[in-house]
Every structure is written in structure tokens, then in C-alpha cells.
């Protein structure tokens, strides 16, 4: 059986009535790295806390390796029996213990013999790149090294599942990138399953086998990074992951008309009704002449390694475009063309927050 984690119809309402999670379904296979992403307050930490057993859902069930951890009316498996590893943003390592003592703590709790503990601690310190750091006082370590200690401690007892809540967020590049790569290889080499909460969409896209995007406790989309980037399930995903331009309006007789300005766009095969037109930055071509192109003004411009990124004023609509070629400056007038746009019929014009 390769299914490590399974959440079925998990709902979680806080005692004050706040909704933490709504009807959440998720399975994670062995060795799978699932990035959990969403705006602040979307339920990411709530999800991890529910899996860890710090919080109990109001409905649904949580299963690890086929064993029910939580189901209403059944006895709940407590956190310490779930055999999980956890790392949070704050370096939760104990300052009064050496690095080795910190890392071996879970083994001591589990009653592992002293001689075995020492060997295991050495192995795991080597794995996270802290070979020879065992006797060090955590106060003498850098932030990144302390975070590695926390990771080593989470891994030392061979957890069934690793839960990371913004575990890399406090670190600076390039260290962050190094740890990212280490996490990725841990998933592959140890077959370790991870739920990795991050607010960094690029990190999620780069690392994840699959991404779970939450908003207001609800799953917006679950899929591979490529699926979410190429086929956003709704305008929220397109805005949140790709900075797409979202334009409210309606379709009549195959023509989309914005409610806020005079933008129109032909959408074939869409039934009449209200909705959102979504234009991905890669779907606005710059400097291509042609009948459909329009003269627009560059509002702001960023140079990128692989492409330039500009915000355009398209007859009163701010649109983001990503293109390669000559870099344009603020105030330049360029010709631009929408090469593709998608219409999402909906009453709900939810757009990503921060
Ligand atoms: P995230 O980690 O995505 O920023 P959280 O899971 O911390 O979001 O919070 C999800 C929602 O639950 C938010 O609206 C938050 O205000 C609410 N919430 C979190 N913790 C509690 C709590 N202990 N009591 C009541 N509401 C809470
Ligand atoms: Mg959080």
C-alpha cells in the first residue's frame, strides 16, 4: 500500500465559529512532496495541525498508512503516536541542549538505547549537512544551521510523514535554495512523504509533485504544478500563481464585454452569462504587429533572467505581460496582442488576496 496520508471530507470549525477547513480531500503517496499554498489565513496551518493531531476536525476522517488517526466517534490517535516529523518557521530547538541532544531527543522519548542513539544522530546530522556539529551549542549556529537541526530532529525517528510549516521562510537565499534541494532529494531518496506549507509560489512550483491551493479553508485546486499553471481551475488560481489579468464581465453572442471598461474579446463556444476573462501574462504578445494588435503604454517594467515582465495600460486596464526580447521602459508605447484568453463563467468573482 503506497498511500501514506488520506484526508476524507475533512471539515474543521474553530470553537469561535471560524471556518478552518471545508470538505477537504487529499491523499499523499509514499515519497510524494505536496506543497500547500494559499493566502494568509487560508487554512494551511490548520491543515497541518489537524494532520498532526493538535486540532480535531469537526467532520471527516484522517488516515495514515491505512490506520485511522481521526474519525468522529472513534478514539483519536494522539500526536506522539502518529509518528510524524514536524518543522515550523521558528527554530524550535532547545537552547540549553547541544545539537546532538536536540536531535536525539525524539529517540530518547521513544526509549532507544544510548549507543544506538549516538549512531543515528551522527547519520542524520551528516544527511542534513551538519557533520561534526553534534557538540555545538545552538546559539553559535546560523539561522540556516539551526533550521537544519530542526529538520534533523524531525527526521531522526524515521517519520511516516514530514510536516513543514513555512520551514524555509525565515531563511535567506541562497541557503533557502540549498535546503529546498535537500528536501527534494529527501523525498526521492528516503521515499519520505511531505506536506510542505509555503507562501512562496515559486518554491511550491519548483519543489512539489503536486500542489494544494487553499483559499478560505477551501481547496481551490489540487494537481501538478504544470496542471495548475497551464490549466488553472478558476480565476483565483490564475491570479494567485501566474499574476493573470482578471476582468469581470459577461458573454453575449460569443463576445466578452468587460463591466468596467470597453474591453471586448471574442470567446467562441461560450454560452451567454456573467463571468471572468482570464489573461495569463504569457498570453500577451509584445512587439508583434498584426491586425489585432493595439498600441499600449508600459506602466512598469522588470527585467528577468528568462523573460521581461511588464505591466501595460490596455485602454484603462492594467495587464501583466511576460515576454522575451527587447526590454521596454516605463512610458514606452508598444504594440501588444492578446493571443489567448479564457472565460470562466461564475457568479463568484473571488480574486486572490495577499
Ligand atoms: P494560514 O496558515 O493559511 O495562514 P490558518 O490555518 O492559520 O491560516 O488560519 C485559517 C483561518 O482560521 C483563519 O481565518 C484564522 O483566523 C482562523 N484561525 C486560526 N487559528 C484559530 C483559532 N485558534 N481560533 C479561531 N480561529 C482561528
Ligand atoms: Mg500559517
In the chain (354 residues long), the average pLDDT of successive 10-residue segments reads 92 97 97 96 97 96 97 94 89 89 94 94 92 96 90 94 91 82 86 94 94 97 97 96 96 94 90 95 86 89 88 93 91 94 78 51
Please give the sequence-ordered ranges of beta strands (E in DSSP) within the chain, or none if there are none: 3-13, 19-29, 33-37, 59-64, 67-71, 84-88, 161-165, 194-197, 210-215, 218-223, 245-252, 255-258, 264-266, 273-279, 284-286, 294-302, 308-314, 317-323, 333-338, 342-345
Å from CA of 37 to ligand 2 middle: 10
Kindly give the distance from the C-alpha atom of residue 331 to the centroid of ligand 2, in angstroms, as a whole number. Answer: 40
Strand spans (E) along 144-282: 161-165, 194-197, 210-215, 218-223, 245-252, 255-258, 264-266, 273-279
Q: Which ligand is nearest to the CA of 213?
A: 1
Bridge partners of 265, per DSSP, are 256
Q: Identify the nearest ligand to the CA of 214 by its number.
A: 1
Give the pLDDT score at 78.
97
**Which residue puts its alpha carbon closest to atom 8 of ligand 1?**
41
Strand order of the β-sheet with 210-215 is: 84-88, 161-165, 194-197, 33-37, 210-215, 218-223
Ligand lying nearest the CA atom of residue 14: 1
Burial class (CB in 10 A: 0-12, 13-18, 19+), 249: buried
In the reported structure, the alpha carbon of residue 195 is separated from the centroid of ligand 2 by a whole-number distance in angstroms of: 13
- The grid cell for 321 is 505581460
> Nearest C-alpha to atom 20 of ligand 1 is from which residue?
46
What does the pLDDT read at residue 354? 37
**Cα–Cα distance for residue pair 77/88, rounded to 1 Å:** 22
Residue entry with cell 501595460:
312
Q: What is the pLDDT of residue 2?
A: 83
Helix, strand or coil for residue 279?
strand
Helix, strand and coil content of the chain, in percent to the nearest 5, comes to: 25, 35, 40
Measured from the alpha carbon of residue 40, the closest ligand is 1
Q: Which residues does 15 contact at the CB level (< 8 Å), separation at least 6? A: none
Ligand closest in space to the Cα of 165: 2
The number of the ligand 1 atom at minimal distance from the alpha carbon of 40 is: 4
The DSSP letter of residue 230 is H
Is the separation of the CB atoms in 254 and 308 below 8 Å?
A: no
Distance between Cα 45 and ligand 1 center (Å): 7
Q: How far are the Cα atoms of 3, 132, 205, 251 from residue 178, in angstroms, in the given order?
A: 28, 19, 16, 48
Residue nearest atom 21 of ligand 1, based on CA coordinates: 14
Residue 12's pLDDT is: 98
pLDDT of residue 46: 97
**In angstroms, rounded to a whole number, what is the distance separating the alpha carbons of residues 192 and 335?**
49
3 state SS of 267: coil
| 21, 41, 90, 196, best to mutate for ligand 1 pocket (most atoms within 8 Å of CB) | 41
Can you tell me which atom of ligand 1 is nearest the CA of 20?
12
| Cα–Cα distance, 33 to 212 (Å, whole number) | 11
Mutate to test the pocket of ligand 1, among 17, 18, 58 (most ligand atoms within 8 A of CB): 18
Residue located nearest, by CA, to atom 23 of ligand 1: 14
| Residue 241 CA to ligand 2 centre (angstroms) | 18
d(CA 251, CA 345): 9
Ligand 1 nearest-atom number relative to CA 18: 26
Ligand 1 residue neighbourhood (C-beta within 6 Å): 14, 16, 18, 20, 38, 40-46
Backbone angles phi, psi at 233, to 5 degrees: -70, -20
At 122, is the secondary structure helix, strand, or coil? helix
Which residue from 244, 238, 270 is spatially nearest to 257, judged by alpha carbons? 270
> Strand 284-286 and strand 67-71: pairing?
unpaired
Task: Return the beta strands (E) in 136-190 as ranges.
Answer: 161-165
Give the number of other Cβ atoms within 10 Å of residue 26's Cβ: 19
Q: How many residues does the chain have?
A: 354
Ligand 1 mean position, distance from CA 41 (Å):
5
Amino acid at each position: 500500500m503506497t498511500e501514506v496520508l488520506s484526508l476524507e471530507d475533512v471539515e474543521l470549525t474553530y470553537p469561535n465559529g471560524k471556518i478552518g477547513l471545508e470538505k477537504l480531500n487529499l491523499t499523499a503517496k509514499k515519497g510524494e512532496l505536496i506543497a500547500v499554498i494559499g493566502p494568509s489565513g487560508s487554512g494551511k496551518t490548520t491543515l497541518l495541525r489537524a494532520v498532526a493531531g493538535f486540532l480535531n476536525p469537526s467532520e471527516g476522517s484522517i488516515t495514515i498508512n491505512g490506520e485511522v488517526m481521526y474519525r468522529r466517534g472513534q478514539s483519536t490517535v494522539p500526536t506522539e503516536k502518529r509518528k510524524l516529523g514536524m518543522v515550523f518557521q521558528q527554530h524550535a530547538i532547545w537552547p540549553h541542549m547541544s545539537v546532538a541532544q536536540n536531535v536525539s531527543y525524539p529517540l530518547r522519548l521513544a526509549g532507544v538505547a544510548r549507543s544506538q542513539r549516538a549512531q543515528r544522530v551522527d547519520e542524520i546530522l551528516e544527511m542534513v549537512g551538519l557533520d561534526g556539529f553534534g557538540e555545538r551549542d545552538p546559539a553559535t549556529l546560523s539561522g540556516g544551521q539551526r533550521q537544519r537541526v530542526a529538520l534533523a530532529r524531525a527526521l531522526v525517528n524515521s517519520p511516516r510523514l514530514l510536516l513543514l510549516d513555512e520551514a524555509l521562510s525565515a531563511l535567506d537565499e541562497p541557503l533557502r535554495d540549498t535546503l529546498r534541494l535537500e528536501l527534494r532529494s529527501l523525498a526521492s531518496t528516503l521515499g519520505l512523504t511531505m506536506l510542505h506549507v509555503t507562501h512562496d509560489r515559486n518554491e511550491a512550483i519548483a519543489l512539489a509533485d503536486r500542489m494544494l491551493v487553499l483559499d478560505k479553508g477551501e481547496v481551490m485546486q489540487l494537481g501538478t504544478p504544470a496542471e495548475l499553471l497551464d490549466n488553472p481551475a478558476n480565476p483565483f488560481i490564475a491570479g494567485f500563481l501566474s499574476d493573470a489579468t482578471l476582468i469581470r464581465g459577461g458573454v453575449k453572442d460569443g463576445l466578452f464585454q468587460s463591466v468596467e471598461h470597453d474591453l471586448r474579446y471574442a470567446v467562441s463556444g461560450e454560452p451567454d452569462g456573467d463571468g471572468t476573462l482570464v489573461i495569463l501574462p504569457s498570453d500577451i504578445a509584445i512587439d508583434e504587429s498584426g491586425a489585432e494588435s493595439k498600441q499600449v503604454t508600459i506602466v512598469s517594467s522588470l527585467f528577468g533572467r528568462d523573460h521581461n515582465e511588464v505591466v501595460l495600460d490596455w485602454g484603462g486596464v492594467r495587464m501583466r505581460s511576460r515576454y522575451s526580447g527587447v526590454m521596454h521602459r516605463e512610458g514606452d508605447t508598444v504594440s501588444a496582442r492578446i493571443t489567448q484568453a479564457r472565460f470562466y463563467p461564475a457568479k463568484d468573482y473571488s480574486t486572490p488576496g495577499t
